A and B are shown apart, each in its own frame.
Chain A
Amino acid sequence: GQNIDQPTEMTATEGAIVQINCTYQTSGFNGLFWYQQHAGEAPTFLSYNVLDGLEEKGRFSSFLSRSKGYSYLLLKELQMKDSASYLCAVKDSNYQLIWGAGTKLIIKP
């Protein structure tokens, strides 16, 4: 079967750095997405990786290793507004999105 694993919950301190990991086992691979979802709001697109390496976008970076079936989302200079759930999703060989259950990130002052 297809599976995406990510931690259920993480806690970090304002101003610090946090890394949210995602591992996947899917039938084929056509890219990996990270979404942010604040409570009661729509998931919003953060990043897309299809090649190995690091993609940087401001305070957020996303890394992919296809050989290891592994990705992480790195958030720097954490702000209280970064408290949200972070969803990892993989596009499989049929171009279907396979989703993880999400990681709830709690930021403390």
Chain B
Amino acid sequence: ETGVTQTPRHLVMGMTNKKSLKCEQHLGHNAMYWYKQSAKKPLELMFVYNFKEQTENNSVPSRFSPECPNSSHLFLHLHTLQPEDSALYLCASSQALGDFDYGYTFGSGTRLTVV
């Protein structure tokens, strides 16, 4: 247990479904991140939140919609996804934006399959 919890661990959804991924951190961190991890590719940064405010949207398609109600919780709302969106979605947190000399703390991820 890393202190960052992601649910669900696995998700299979159709292209017309709507689902949400949840991330919760118990570390008192102020910055939270969504990453996409595809096989044999570098981690792709999707969204960054600092003190609940979105500071970065890395040209992510609008079918991915993030929400950060407080510094401890982060959601990724999914709708009308494509098969190429199948991947491992990782949530991470750090003490502060840009200040992570001790690294990010990651959750175990949600393995998403779009059928």
A residues with CB within 8 A of B: 4, 8, 31, 33, 35, 40-45, 48, 50, 87, 89, 95-102
Contacts and interface: CB of A to CB of B under 8 A. Distances in A.
A42 B107 contact: yes
B108 A99 contact: no
B2 A99 contact: no
Nearest to A4: B42
Interface residues of B, number: 21
Interface of B: 2, 4, 40-43, 45, 90, 97-99, 101-109, 111
B4 A101 contact: no
Given A8-B40, A40-B111, 11 more contacts: A33-B103, A42-B2, A42-B107, A42-B108, A45-B105, A48-B102, A50-B101, A89-B43, A96-B45, A100-B42, A101-B40
Given A8-B40, A35-B103, A101-B40, A40 B108 contact: yes
The 8 residue pairs across chains A and B that have the minimum distance between CB atoms: A95-B98, A45-B103, A99-B42, A42-B106, A99-B43, A42-B108, A43-B106, A101-B42
B102 to A, nearest CB: 7
Contact of B4 (A4, A42, A45): A42
Nearest to B1: A42
A43 B90 CA distance: 9
B54 to A, nearest CB: 15
Summarize B's interface: helix, strand, loop or mixed: loop
Contacts of B99: 95
Most buried by B among A40, A42, A100, A102: A42
Contact of A31 (B40, B41, B101, B104): B101
B78 to A, nearest CB: 20
A62 to B, nearest CB: 12
Contacts of B109: 40, 42
B25 to A, nearest CB: 12
Contacts of B101: 31, 48, 50
Contacts of A102: 40, 42
